[in-house]
Amino acid sequence: MCENTVSYHVPKGWDYKEVFGICGQTGYDGERLICHDCCNDPRKMAEIERQERNIAADNAWARSAGWGEF
């Protein structure tokens, strides 16, 4: 990823609050934060998709071993 700042909104009472994170970090709901520059770069998106597939495979193996997700 890169060092760009990503803004997103989280619930706060009856409204939402804007918060900021660094590209590649985990957001409020557990999603990966991706900036516009990385989102528009096919190579970076392919790398992110590869990482997500590896994470899913690791979690599937851990569940099959009875360990749950990491």
pLDDT tens digit sequence for 18-65:
999 999 999 988 899 999 999 999 999 999 999 999 999 999 999 999
Q: What pTM was computed for the model?
A: 0.74
Burial classification of residue 41, based on how many CB atoms lie within 10 Å of its CB (0-12 exposed, 13-18 middle, 19 or more buried): middle
CA distance 41 to 18: 25
The confidence score (pLDDT) of residue 2 equals: 86
Q: Which residue has the tokens 């749950």?
A: 68
CA distance 20 to 2: 14
